[in-house]
Structure 1
Amino acid sequence: MAKKPIGPVRRAFAPWEDPNAIPFIEFRNVTKRFGDFVAVDNLSLSIYEREFHALLGGSGCGKTTMMRMLAGFETPTEGQILLDGQDLAGIPPYKRPVNMMFQSYALFPHMTVEANIAFGLKQDGMPASEIKSRVDEMLRLVKLEPFAKRKPHQLSGGQRQRVALARSLAKRPKVLLLDEPLAALDKKLREETQLELMTLQEDLRMTFLIVTHDQEEAMTVADRISVMDHGHIRQVATPGEIYETPNSRFVAEFIGDINLFSGQISEVNENDARLFCTVLGQHIDIQGAGKVTAGSNAAFAIRPEKVRISLDKPEPSNANVIPGEVWDIAYMGDVSIYHIKIAETETVRAVVANTTRLVERPITWDDKIWLSWDRDAGVILTK
């Protein structure tokens, strides 16, 4: 029986679920050292053909080093990198079937848009008639036909980004590498361009690998995300799985907001468990706790939007209920974020959607309130 997906799924594409699927890109026990510094530490990763994969992590986690090794700009100290079954060791960057779009775009300022796109094709010795046809195709693809004769300084940031994308795609690489490609764009344009990238990748049926530190960007564009930390991959999963079922405190805290309750597993019943939280002075009941052992230390993690807030104590139900006091409120327009004091030094965040313009009795500062959440709303973390 097929595995039930977690979270919205934008396309029926999951070759990693097929045990017979052959990876298109493979990092096999790859290590990269710069002197005494280990940038990538014995790392293995499989990426599949037509996948949009994101390497996500903070500065210095090793994500850009991984991409540069795949492109051929860095050489692994140990291990192998394979592309479509071919070991890339010893193959120079210009002979690899990959192309990289850099954060800076690196456009030639003295060349027109069409000349920038054609540059790599001319370097490869492609006939002039074919170059013109390919450039025209790329201009249509990125919707820049009216700007073909302009130079980079005559374009907006979003247009320059499209020129760089068209130039990267013109040689029809097997893999497109995107190094923080949208970092220079403003928020609205970045969101629009993310959707354009997704559509483009699916239309071209190409493999895209993006490096980013932006969680929202990775969650938006990628089929799967590799969360990286100090040269290691902490979790590889779909955006929904990363968000809803993080495998560690690091991943839970790195992706979005999270409430963590530390304690000890006091009771286990098949797939359910009870965790005694010292700060709360009470038990938390968890449905679908996974493999945990009574007496072990653990943490319960729950996202703020899954926490309900009310002035009246909820009726007994399949839920956990704790008292608190409103400490602060952040009104964000579409949602309000409540910071609830549950102990002298502990607060919990609850997100409430502002679905109506007016409320009869708004919950405000210093109110004594009740927090509640369903037993299956969070996850147990043991590492």
Structure 2
Amino acid sequence: MAKKPIGPVRRDFTPWESPEAVPFIEFRNVTKRFGDFVAVRNLSLKIYKREFFALLGGSGCGKTTLMRMLAGFEKPSEGQILLDGQDLAGIPPFRRPTNMMFQSYALFPHMNVEKNIAFGLKQDKLSKSEIDDRVREMLRLTKLEAFAKRKPHQLSGGQRQRVALARSLAKRPKVLLLDEPLGALDRKLREETQFELMNLQEELKITFLIVTHDQEEAMTVADRIAVMDAGEIVQVATPAEIYETPNSRFVADFIGDINLIEATVVEKNGQGAKLQAVEHGFLIDTVQDTGARVGERVWFALRPEKVRIRHGKPEGALVNAAGAMVWDIAYMGDVSIFHSRLNESTTMRSTVANVTRTVERPISWDEEVTLTWDRDAGVILTN
């Protein structure tokens, strides 16, 4: 029986779920040292053809080093890197079927858009007719036809970004490597470009590997995400799986906002588990079974948008409910974010969609409220 997908599905493309699928890119027990510092630690990873894959993590986690080893700019200290079945050891960057688009774009200021796109093709000694055809194709795909004769200083940041993308794709690499490609763009343009990248990748059917520290960017563009920390991969999954079923407190806290409630397992019945919040006494009734034993300490991870908030103190038994006092409110336009204190040291966040323009009696600062959530709203974490 096929596994039911979590969250919206962008396309019917899940080769990683098939045991017969052959990885297009494979890192086998790769380690990279810089002197005494271990940037990547015994890492193994499989990426499939036509996948849009994201390496996500904070500064210094090893994600860029991993990409640079695939591109050939760094050599692994240990392990193998394979691309389309070929061991890349000893193959220089210019002979690898990859191309990298850098955050700085690195456009030639004295060349116009057409010549920037054509530069790599001329280096490869393609015929003039083939170069012209490819340049026209790239201009069309990146919507730059009207800017073909302009030089980089005559373009906006988003247009320069598209020129760099067109130049990277013109050589028709098997893999396009994107190193923080949208970091220099403003938020609105970055969001628009993310969808353009997705559409372009699907049209060209090229494998894309993006390195980013921006969780929203990775969640938007990628088929799968590898979350990295201290040179290791801590979870690989689809964006929805990473968000809804993180495998650790680190992943839960790194991706989006999260409420982490320390609790003790008090009951397991085969159809779920009951937890008791350590500091607050309320019970948490969940549909999730857990590998933890009765009496063991766990953490209950609960996303703010899954927490309901209403006026007044809680009534009756406190099961999937907590009394709190509103401490801070952030009005974001589409949503309002409430920070409500359970006690002096613990705050729980809840997100409310502003679906109407007016509210008869809005919840205000220093007001007593009740926070509630459903049995299937959170996930139990043991580490």
TM-score interval, normalised by the smaller of the two chains: over 0.9
Residue 223 (structure 2) pairs with residue 223 (structure 1):
yes
Partner of 1:161: 161
Partner of 1:106: 106
1:205, 1:294 → 2: CA distance?
50
Q: 300-309 or 322-331, which moves further after superposition?
A: 322-331
Alignment gaps of 5+ in structure 1:
none
Q: Shift of the alpha carbon at 1:313?
A: 5.8
Name the aligned partner's letter for residue 161 of structure 2: Q
TM superposition score normalised by structure 2:
0.98
Q: Shift of the alpha carbon at 1:289?
A: 3.2
Partner of 1:94: 94
Counterpart of 2:242 in 1: which secondary structure? helix
CA deviation string 1:115-164 (max 9, x = no partner): 11111011111111111111111111111111111111111110100000
**Contact preservation (8 Å) 1:326, 1:367:** yes
**Contact preservation (8 Å) 2:312, 2:368:** no
1:20, 1:142 → 2: CA distance?
35
Change (3 A) 1:243 1:317: farther
Name the aligned partner's letter for residue 95 of structure 1: R
Counterpart of 1:234 in 2: which secondary structure? strand
**Contact preservation (8 Å) 1:265, 1:293:** yes
Name the aligned partner's letter for residue 172 of structure 1: R
**Contact preservation (8 Å) 1:320, 1:373:** yes
Partner of 1:349: 349
Describe how 1:255-294 pairs up with structure 2 within 5 A.
255-294=255-294
1:6, 1:319 → 2: CA distance?
26
Q: Shift of the alpha carbon at 1:276?
A: 1.7
Name the aligned partner's letter for residue 142 of structure 1: T
Counterpart of 2:338 in 1: which secondary structure? strand
CA deviation string 1:78-101 (max 9, x = no partner): 000000111000001000000000
Partner of 2:300: 300
Residue 72 (structure 2) pairs with residue 68 (structure 1):
no
Q: Shift of the alpha carbon at 1:318?
A: 12
TM superposition score normalised by structure 1:
0.98
**Contact preservation (8 Å) 2:282, 2:319:** no
Counterpart of 1:344 in 2: which secondary structure? coil
Counterpart of 1:33 in 2: which secondary structure? strand
Q: 287-296 or 221-230, which moves further after superposition?
A: 287-296
Partner of 1:382: 382
Residue 57 (structure 2) pairs with residue 57 (structure 1):
yes
Q: Shift of the alpha carbon at 1:282?
A: 2.5
Q: CA RMSD in A?
A: 1.4
Q: Shift of the alpha carbon at 1:291?
A: 2.7
Partner of 2:203: 203
**Contact preservation (8 Å) 1:309, 1:371:** yes
Describe how 1:307-318 pairs up with structure 2 within 5 A.
307-312=307-312
**Contact preservation (8 Å) 1:268, 1:292:** no
Q: Shift of the alpha carbon at 1:281?
A: 1.6
Q: Which runs of 4+ in 1 moved over 3 A?
A: 312-319
Partner of 1:174: 174
Aligned residues: 383
**Contact preservation (8 Å) 2:314, 2:369:** no
Q: 287-296 or 245-254, which moves further after superposition?
A: 287-296
2:18, 2:282 → 1: CA distance?
43
Q: Shift of the alpha carbon at 1:11?
A: 0.6
2:313, 2:366 → 1: CA distance?
16
Name the aligned partner's letter for residue 58 of structure 1: G
**Contact preservation (8 Å) 2:168, 2:176:** yes
Alignment gaps of 5+ in structure 2:
none
**Contact preservation (8 Å) 2:282, 2:320:** no
